[in-house]
């Protein structure tokens, strides 16, 4: 009897190889083989097609150590099958239960992590450019349903990808549109031996309960539930990838990176579609955190709502994992490792030339004593980071200090004003106000706030003899 199911399986893989341009002549493919019908079918498909396409195959098997006797038998069986096909065999035995205790991971998560580590090591050993995995349509349906139950987004609904790059190696799943029943039928038609993993029947694993209980129950309402869920993944996957591409383009357009912080303007963010707003926040958090999966929809939406709807022009939001989101007027900034407010400082300045470092900043303050006659009229065209004082009307020592509650300054022609209100008018970000230096005289009167305003104290006049020149030198960083 002609093995019709097997022949259809071969034709399906041929079609994918040609359409997707997988596995060039000379490619080395690592086949992940557990010993079950799906992976045994994969091994035989790759072996039978290898002369046709000119690739080589390595059989890779991992013993996770969960079922000592059964797992050892599976390893011997897979090695024998590879030997019968003259396919090189690689294996490794690990202690997954011990790894679970060390890392706190669940059984399936720990096993998956160890398995992929092993497969990548084998790929590196053989200079292989591809790893073939035997996931099938039923696996895809289980994955999508499991993620829906846990509360996933579009990325999760996209399920298992048929092809992706990981650590510069292709991960390829040629059976993702094939029912497991057809893989079993193919093995039986061709008399391929395989083994059944007894742990697949244990309901202590969430995936098993979904396969054994949830999907059969829901199939009462949709007999085509498995292909329906698989089709949902095929639709959602590329659409999610497209939205991600648009998000990355928006990121390049809007976001500025500087010294570990990521910032953008409120106006530009509000103008983006809500789907891109959420994705942009998620993308930034992925850059800032190695455990970004902890930032679920509720957290991301809280941040988005705060940015879009808060009427406050200054606020900060503790996101978690030592990350905060700060609004300073028109700017939104995400930062990692925020260490709180700068320490207060007060540095005495004597009547002498000097260059002083400003605490909490890479900036410096230059001080020079000059004869006033050395300055012509152009000397009065100063930037906001420069100031001139009559040195003989200035009471030394002067002090360079951080702001204090209740600080006021006497402005030219404007009377007295609170420094706090001056900062607000000048739109000085809240995070910068405590590190901004104030220059005061011996009596505590504020003479100058570099970059902001000068007071009416110690003004130069026609009879001035000695000039005090001060300049804030900004860091190039």
pLDDT at 395: 86
360 and 441 fall within a common domain: yes
Integer Cα distance of 96 and 94 in angstroms = 6
- The domain boundary, picked from 235, 264, 298, lies at 235
Please check whether residue 63 is in contact with residue 79, taking contact to mean a CB–CB distance below 8 angstroms: no
Integer Cα distance of 158 and 316 in angstroms = 34
From the list 401, 397, 381, the residue with the least C-alpha distance to 448 is 401
Spacing of C-alpha 432 from chain mean position: 27
Looking at the domain assignment, is residue 132 inside a domain?
A: yes
Residue 322, domain CATH: 3.30.465.60
Residue 196 has which token pair? Answer: 């059944």
Three-state DSSP at 219 gives: coil
464 and 327 fall within a common domain: no
Please check whether residue 75 is in contact with residue 61, taking contact to mean a CB–CB distance below 8 angstroms: yes
Residue 161 has which token pair? Answer: 């990808």
Which residues have C-beta within 8 Å of that of residue 435, sequence separation ≥ 6? 342, 358, 359, 360, 361, 402
Q: Is residue 357 part of an annotated ligand binding site? A: no
327 and 352 fall within a common domain: no
Torsion from C-alpha of 133, 134, 136, 138, nearest 10 degrees: -110
Looking at the domain assignment, is residue 320 inside a domain?
A: yes
35 and 70 fall within a common domain: yes
Domain count, the chain: 3
Residues of the chain with pLDDT under 50: 1, 377
Q: Is residue 38 part of an annotated ligand binding site? A: yes
Strands (DSSP E) found in 311-363: 314-320, 323-328, 331-336, 346-349, 354-357
Please check whether residue 135 is in contact with residue 176, taking contact to mean a CB–CB distance below 8 angstroms: yes
Q: Which residue has the tokens 């300045």?
A: 349
9 and 113 fall within a common domain: yes
Length of the chain: 477
Give the residues across from 405 on adjacent strands.
none
Spacing of C-alpha 296 from chain mean position: 13
198 and 327 fall within a common domain: no
204 and 274 fall within a common domain: no
Domain range spanning residue 405? Answer: 346-473
Looking at the domain assignment, is residue 242 inside a domain?
A: no
Whole-structure pTM value: 0.70
Instruction: Using the CB atoms, write b or e for 238-269: b if 16+ within 10 Å.
Output: eebeebbebbeebbeebbeeeeebbbbebeeb
Q: Is residue 39 part of an annotated ligand binding site? A: yes
Integer Cα distance of 468 and 350 in angstroms = 11
201 DSSP 8-state letter: G
Is the dihedral angle over the CA atoms 332, 337, 341, 346 positive or is it negative? Answer: negative
Residue 460, domain CATH: 3.50.40.10
187 and 121 fall within a common domain: yes
Q: Is residue 34 part of an annotated ligand binding site? A: yes
Three-state DSSP at 476 gives: coil
382 and 445 fall within a common domain: yes
């Amino acid at each position: 009897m002609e093995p019709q199911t097997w022949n259809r399986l071969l034709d399906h893989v041929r079609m994918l190889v040609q359409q997707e341009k997988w596995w060039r002549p000379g490619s080395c493919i690592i086949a992940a083989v557990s010993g079950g019908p799906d992976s045994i079918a994969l091994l035989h498909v790759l072996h039978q097609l290898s002369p046709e396409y000119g690739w080589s195959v390595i059989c890779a098997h991992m013993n996770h150590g969960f079922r000592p006797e059964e797992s050892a038998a599976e390893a011997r069986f897979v090695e024998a099958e590879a030997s019968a096909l003259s396919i090189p065999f690689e294996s490794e035995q690990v202690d997954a239960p011990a790894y679970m205790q060390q890392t706190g991971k669940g059984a399936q998560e720990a096993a998956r992590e160890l398995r992929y580590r092993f497969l990548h090591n084998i790929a590196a050993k053989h200079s292989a450019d591809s790893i073939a995995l035997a996931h099938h349509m039923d696996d895809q349906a289980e994955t999508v349903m499991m993620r829906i139950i846990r509360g996933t987004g579009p990325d999760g609904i996209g399920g298992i990808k048929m092809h992706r790059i990981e650590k510069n190696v292709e991960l390829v799943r040629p059976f993702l549109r094939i029912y497991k029943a057809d893989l079993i039928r193919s093995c039986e038609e061709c008399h391929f031996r395989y083994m059944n993993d007894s742990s697949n029947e244990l309901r202590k694993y969430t995936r098993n309960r979904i396969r054994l209980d949830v999907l059969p129950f829901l199939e009462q309402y949709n007999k085509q539930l498995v292909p329906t869920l698989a089709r949902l993944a095929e639709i959602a996957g590329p659409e999610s990838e497209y939205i991600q591409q648009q998000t990355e383009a928006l990121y390049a357009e809007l976001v500025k990176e500087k010294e570990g912080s990521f910032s953008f303007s409120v106006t530009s963010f509000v103008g983006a579609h809500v789907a891109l707003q959420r994705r942009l926040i998620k993308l930034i958090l992925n850059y800032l955190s190695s455990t970004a999966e902890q930032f679920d929809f509720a957290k991301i939406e809280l941040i988005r709502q705060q940015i879009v709807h808060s009427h406050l022009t200054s606020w900060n939001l503790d996101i978690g994992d030592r990350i905060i989101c700060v609004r300073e007027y028109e700017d939104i900034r995400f930062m990692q490792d925020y260490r709180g407010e700068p320490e207060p400082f007060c540095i005495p300045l004597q009547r002498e030339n000097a260059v002083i470092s400003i605490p909490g900043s890479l900036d410096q303050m230059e001080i020079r004593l000059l004869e006033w006659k050395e300055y012509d009229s152009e000397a009065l065209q100063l930037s906001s980071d420069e100031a001139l004082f009559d040195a003989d009307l200035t009471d030394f020592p002067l002090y360079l200090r951080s702001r204090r509650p209740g600080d006021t300054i006497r402005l030219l022609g404007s009377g007295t004003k609170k420094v706090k209100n001056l900062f607000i008018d000048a739109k000085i970000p809240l995070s910068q106000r405590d590190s901004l230096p104030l220059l005061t005289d011996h009596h505590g009167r504020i003479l100058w706030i570099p970059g902001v305003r000068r007071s009416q104290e110690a003004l130069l006049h026609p009879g001035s003899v000695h000039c005090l020149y001060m300049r804030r030198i900004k860091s190039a960083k």
